[in-house]
Amino acid sequence: MRSLGSAWRGALELVVEVDGAQVPALAYPELVGAPQIGDVVLLNTTALDLDLGTGGYAMVVALPDRLPPDSPDPGQLVKARYLPQQVSVRGVDAQESPHHGVLADADSLDGMPVVIADLHSALPAVIAGVRLERPSTRVAYVMSDGGALPIWLSRTVAGLREAGWLSATVTVGQAFGGDVEAVTVHTGLLAARHVLDAEVAVIAQGPGNLGTGTRWGYSGVAAGEAVNAVATLGGRPVASLRISDADPRTRHRGISHHSRTAYGRVALAGADVVVPELGEPLASAVEADLAELGGRHRIVRVSAHGMVEALRAVPVALSTMGRGLDEDRGYFVAAACAGRHAASLLEARDR
């Protein structure tokens, strides 16, 4: 290893020499220990070789000459199961957890609004919309396992936590590294409400959406299942639409086929589908696509007034598929309006 780079919660950038070339790498110190200049590192270069949008790094697998000490009390819940780097964590819903009794009896979200998004990049925009209406709202992020498994990959989460915009995180399924760990989306949502005292939850996969250009072959299909989970638990599902007039792929123009499939075909329960105020021609494209969402949802039209200014105040970079706010304004405004609607549900409840 030649040098150390930026660090954020759970992650550390390195520069490693490989066959005479300088290679960017990323280490998760809680898994591999703390790298030092001069260390020999074992790398996995898959993401780097494939030039993945959320990759760009070789991943540090191990420091062979200086392995980390064993954790004295790792917990009994295993994630990334049966991979060489499987991790054992203290699950919030596990029997050894001090919260087990609460979650053993918990069966309702008590009407808590839950904003559901296809992409991780929607998270800061959703929170911006919540904060525009209710700045002190406690927001928890429930990260599902459709993208990155370690939440540590996300600079967005680290930055939102540092700025005080995000109260807590829950990693569910095979994902790990959150403030609390849960086995399923259901117990993750219940933990957000009853353990972390969240007023609003946001559920989305971690960085690294996987799509194949087919109707069903993309990891964001889980957004539809999240609607079902929220409704089953007595929460208020708020569906954030993935919309764009900037994506070069036709299937993502207007309302993305990801949203149309997840909410229109997979979600069997009703949700508040938030449609923001938009300019033309995007507004007409979105209206034409709404028919695919079926009759079970409530279409909620939300003002975008003040939203661009709120999005410019977000303390982390806004980026989706390499496009920022000015390149793909409709995408971020749609997510922020979903957050605004979630906040309005709290205001209505409190009146």
pLDDT in tens, 41-92: 999 988 888 887 666 799 999 999 988 887 767 788 999 999 988 999 999 9
For residue 351, what pLDDT is reported? 65
pLDDT digit string, tens, across residues 266-292: 999 999 999 999 999 999 999 999 988
Which residue segments constitute the domains of the chain, with CATH numbers given? 3-62 (no CATH), 100-350 (3.40.50)
Give the up-direction half-sphere exposure of residue 117: CA atoms within 13 A in the CB hemisphere: 35
Strand order in the sheet with 21-27: 3-8, 11-18, 21-27, 58-62, 42-44
Run means of pLDDT, 10 residues per run, the chain, 351 residues: 88 92 92 92 89 80 89 83 91 93 95 97 98 97 96 97 98 97 97 98 94 88 97 98 88 88 95 95 91 88 96 96 92 97 89 65
For 116, the 3-state DSSP assignment is: strand
What pLDDT was estimated at residue 105? 92
pTM of this structure: 0.94
pLDDT at residue 301 in the model: 96
Q: According to the model, what pLDDT value does residue 54 have? A: 63
Q: Which amino acid is at 268?
A: L
Q: What is the pLDDT of residue 55?
A: 66
